[in-house]
């Protein structure tokens, strides 16, 4: 026989009364708003599929903004496959937790602060097995409890697709600048990136533009270009969906070497920039990064 339910539950599973929970939620909301209010522009980097170079773009975007002396934060919410620590050579970096349960991010340099679930794992081979509510909780904590300080930009590297993590971050960030969407040129990737654009529209997240990565390969020996994954598909799709196209980055073996070595491939100081570095610079210019208040 079923047991009769209490008419008026007086406590939740945590043992706290509903009124205590409600005031805790209100305190959380206030703390979240306060922390985010110190960050002028928040950009979420999304992709329809994995492996298209989304983290590479997010990391190099953050490093480039920091190189322009813009105070930047990089938040990696790819809970199941955090690659930001590797791409920045920060494996093994430890975060500090202050007395008030605030989390101090890892300082990559004077202008760039980084937070990733990867910093919380004792072994980088560990797998995180979490369901939606737990993911929402940790993303909220990263936005609320990490001491980002006053930032010009927060770049969020989100996992591919339109699941729990991108949904949580888009809901938690109030007044985001918008999303940068990374794709590769072939049709299987473009189908999914269209979904990412629809996802942004449903959540009122402006689309700042599409980046077509791995767009053709220029042979370093003969200079001939081979469209390994085709090219031009990202621009055609962006035009069709009515969103800006930010630029195309070719395939360059140096990008893999840089990623594996933990050094960003975009380096504003290089004299003889490669085609990919030049392409990346013009993507940053197209985003028109600025200091100061939003208009
Ligand atoms: P995602 O975040 O979409 O899963 P990553 O940024 O981790 O993708 O990139 C996947 C792999 O592709 C990495 O090894 C990275 O170095 C490589 N890569 C990214 N962009 C390029 C490019 N334009 N040319 C060559 N390799 C690239």
- Residues having CB within 6 Å of any atom of ligand 1: 47, 50-56, 83, 213-214, 249, 251-252, 255-256, 259, 276
* Rounded CA separation 148/168 (Å): 19
Q: Whose CA is nearest to atom 15 of ligand 1?
A: 256
What tens digit of pLDDT does each residue of 143-161 get?
999 999 999 999 999 999 9
- Any idea where the domains of the chain sit in the sequence? 22-286
* Rounded CA separation 99/109 (Å): 24
Residue 5 has pLDDT above 50, yes or no: no
Q: How high is the pLDDT of residue 220?
A: 79
Q: How far is the CA of 255 from the centre of ligand 1 (A)?
A: 7
Query: What percentage of the chain reaches a pLDDT higher than 90?
Result: 62
pTM of the model: 0.90
Q: How far is the CA of 24 from the centre of ligand 1 (A)?
A: 41
Spelled out in words, what is the top-level CATH class assigned to the domain 22-286? alpha beta
Report which ligand 1 atom has the smallest distance to the Cα of 258: 16
The whole-number average pLDDT for the span 130-146 is 88
The set of residues, in sequence order, having a beta carbon less than 8 Å from that of 131 and lying 6+ positions away, is none
């Amino acid at each position: 026989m079923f047991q009769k339910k209490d008419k008026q539950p007086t406590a939740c599973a945590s043992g706290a009364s509903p009124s205590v929970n409600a005031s805790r939620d209100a305190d959380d909301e206030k703390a979240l708003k306060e922390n985010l209010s110190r960050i002028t522009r928040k950009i979420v980097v999304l992709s329809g599929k994995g492996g298209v170079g989304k983290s590479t773009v997010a990391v190099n975007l953050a490093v480039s903004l920091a190189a322009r002396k813009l105070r930047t934060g990089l938040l990696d919410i790819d809970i199941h496959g955090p690659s930001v620590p590797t791409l920045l050579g920060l494996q093994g970096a430890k975060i500090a937790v202050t007395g008030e349960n605030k989390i101090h991010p890892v300082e990559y340099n004077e202008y760039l602060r980084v937070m990733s679930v990867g910093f919380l794992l004792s072994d980088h081979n560990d797998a995180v097995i979490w369901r939606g509510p737990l993911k929402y909780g940790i993303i909220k904590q990263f936005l609320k409890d990490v001491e980002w300080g006053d930032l010009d930009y927060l770049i969020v590297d989100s996992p591919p697709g339109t699941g729990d993590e991108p949904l949580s971050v888009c809901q938690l960030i109030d007044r985001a600048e918008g999303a940068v969407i990374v794709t590769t040129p072939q049709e299987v990737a473009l189908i999914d990136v269209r979904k990412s654009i629809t996802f942004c529209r449903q959540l009122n997240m402006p689309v700042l533009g599409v980046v077509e990565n791995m767009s053709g390969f220029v042979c370093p020996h003969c200079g001939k270009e081979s469209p390994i994954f085709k090219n031009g598909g990202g621009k055609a799709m962006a035009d069709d969906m009515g969103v800006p196209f930010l630029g195309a980055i070719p395939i360059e073996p140096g990008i893999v070497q840089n990623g594996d070595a933990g050094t960003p491939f975009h380096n504003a100081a290089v004299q003889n920039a490669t085609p990919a570095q030049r392409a990346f610079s013009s993507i940053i210019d197209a985003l028109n990064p600025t200091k100061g208040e939003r208009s």
